[in-house]
Amino acid sequence: MRLPVVIVLLAAALTAAPVAGPASAAPPRYLDAGAPVEQRVADLLKRMTLDDKIGQMTQAERAPASADPSMVTKLRLGSVLSGGGSAPTPNTPAAWVETVNTLQKAALATPLKIPLLYGVDAVHGHGHLLGATVFPHNLGLGATRDRGLVRDVYAATAEETAASGVPWNFSPCVCVTRDERWGRTYESFGEDPSLVIEMEGAIDALQENGVLATAKHFAGDGDTEFGTGNGDFTIDQGVTVTSRKDFARVDLAPFVSAVREHRVGAVMPSFSSVDWTEDGVGNPVKMHASKELITGYLKHRLGFDGLVVTDWEGIHQLPDPSVPATAPRPTPLQVRTGVNAGIDLFMEPTSAPRFVTLLKAEVTAGRVPMARIDDAVRRVLRTKFRLGLFEHPYAEAGEVGTAEHRALAREAVAKSQVLLKNTGHALPLRTDSRLYVAGRNADDIGNQAGGWTLDWQGRSGRDTIPGTTILEGIRAVAPDVTYSADASAPIGKDDVGVVVVGETPYAEGFGDVGAPPWPTGTAAQKEKKLLTLQPGDKKVVDKVCAATGTCVVLLVSGRPQVVTDQLPVMDALVASWLPGSEGAGVADVLFGKRPFTGRLPVTWPRTTAQVPINVGDRSYHPLFPYGWGIRT
């Protein structure tokens, strides 16, 4: 795959206007593309003022930066991101590139002309870009057990991300999901750390195609205990209560591989906390404040030489008893705690100016040592040199949503489908059968794409993004199809039922099962999340399965749904996960064009009381075990 052509070499621009010295002097060492990276970093670092350095440690959000690009120049910002749902208008590759290049021009207007590093959460394809290929979420990719396919998916993601001018992806999530009630379950490749490690070729695929990868969230965010979070946060952003031995085995293991085997370029700490049970003090430490784990373990023990970037306003959650809860964030204590813990780049979407002011004051007062500042800036600069941003700061728009990429996504969808039950060879279906398709997720591409699609929380809707719904995929191969979302249309006595139900989109805390109501969000986001089917879904399943001789049920969801009570009426049950934009891939296995080969990446619970349940538990009696999957 070819990356978009880049234009306007930075070195050429600087030749006409040298940074320092007489007109006849040679360009600074850091502009010598042939010099070793570490020499270039050292040369540039010694030329930088404190303002330059602090700016490089600061990341603002697209909206305020685009509204006033001069803030990039004034603050000497090192990075800008697009948060969930933050996209230019129109939402096209050309508009993305124009935005990135405009901000890049502002960065190059600084005295040392250090280029900007732009990032985005392209967690299942470049989902925020309308028209991009939307691949299955990681849990579905884990079900494929196909390392080569996962590499291809992430290579295509890199190509489409770069086509919008973005060289940094806050992905992949190498967390290990251990509790289905966690609203980010679908971001994980699975519940077994060995499976997650097996899928980490995703890192290589991004970085070999010119896009910086980010291993997140360091560490333990999928292993937090229910009900142990702060305020409204329950599972998400909660506390991992564990022993050091188990933390290393389950939660740290994927990061060891990501750093040592795959040379990941960036690591993002988790919002969650860790509480070592053997210490017996019951004092959870926020990951953004853990010098022991960020500096001691990640940087020193593992030898990580890339950059550590906070999650969205990550230091704002650090405890600070010295100020009221209503005090502006971040506070001075939060800033120095995060920097001294070992974080290098701070995601401060709307508070970048405040962060810059506070950090400068902390350094001036001696509460943050210059050695720590220099370490952070060295890592940011090293990353930019490795990416070639000094030579190629600007980009041109490329093509997204290509036929090649959509065919790849369709293959990934087919290989992700897990056949849980197949009584009487209900599957594969015959194309000449009379099909009665029902269920709210049969013809809703927004639901089948899930969260992190156009918006942070995703959005329901048949025409949300380009692609094919599951119903459209079925109709493309079967001529006799009746569709009724709520099963209100008459059901023929010879009809074969296909019911597509499951979840609506969500991300992060909004998807936590049992979480308190969140103060913001749409009605769909506030919809109570359950590990069982919604009442309307149950009604459709019961009605169609009772009226048809053969009944196939597909679950479109970001995690297992407890369906033990409904299972007896189903002839076949398929875990379809969140397939993304290419619903035709589901039809491919339903009709036998491709075989069912997917295997469960997580244990499927028998009851909600069993949750959490994971392979290796002492008491292990699930409805379907980890690794289960009927092949056809």
For the annotated catalytic residues, the residue numbers are: 311, 508
Half-sphere exposure in the Cβ direction for 37 (13 Å, CA): 15
- The percent of the chain in helix, strand and coil, each rounded to the nearest 5, is 40, 15, 50
Q: Is the dihedral of CA 542, 547, 553, 555 positive or negative?
A: negative
Q: Are 256 and 267 in contact (CB under 8 A)?
A: no
| β partners of residue 497 | 436, 551
- Distance between CA atoms of residues 8 and 113, nearest Å: 14
- Distance between CA atoms of residues 18 and 457, nearest Å: 46
- Distance between CA atoms of residues 320 and 312, nearest Å: 18
Q: Is the dihedral of CA 622, 626, 627, 631 positive or negative?
A: positive
479: left (phi over 0), alpha (psi -120 to 50) or beta: alpha
Q: How far, in whole angstroms, is CA 266 from its chain's centroid? A: 14
Q: How many CB atoms lie within 10 A of CB 593?
A: 14
Half-sphere exposure in the Cβ direction for 134 (13 Å, CA): 29
Q: How many CB atoms lie within 10 A of CB 474?
A: 26
- Distance between CA atoms of residues 564 and 592, nearest Å: 26
Q: What is the dihedral of CA 378, 393, 71, 310, to 10 degrees?
A: -50
Q: Are 613 and 500 in contact (CB under 8 A)?
A: no
β-pairing verdict for 117-120 and 285-286: unpaired
- Distance between CA atoms of residues 415 and 13, nearest Å: 48
Residue whose entry in the numeric block shows the structure tokens 């006595």: 493
Residue of 352, 233, 338, 244 lying closest to 289 (CA atoms):
338
- DSSP code string of 25-60: SPPPGGG-TTS-HHHHHHHHHHH--HHHHHHHTEEE
- Structure tokens given for 600: 């469960």
How wide is the angle at C-alpha 311 spanned by C-alphas 300 and 508, nearest 5°? 125
Q: How far, in whole angstroms, is CA 572 from its chain's centroid? A: 31
- Structure tokens given for 250: 């389950």
Burial of residue 143, with CB atoms counted within 10 A of its CB: 0-12 exposed, 13-18 middle, 19 or more buried: buried
Q: How many CB atoms lie within 10 A of CB 280?
A: 7
Exposed e or buried b for every residue in 189-219, given b needs 16+ CB within 10 A? bbbbbebbbbbbbbbbbbbebbbbbbbbbbb
CA separation (Å) from 627 to 195, 335, 574, 603?
A: 10, 44, 14, 8
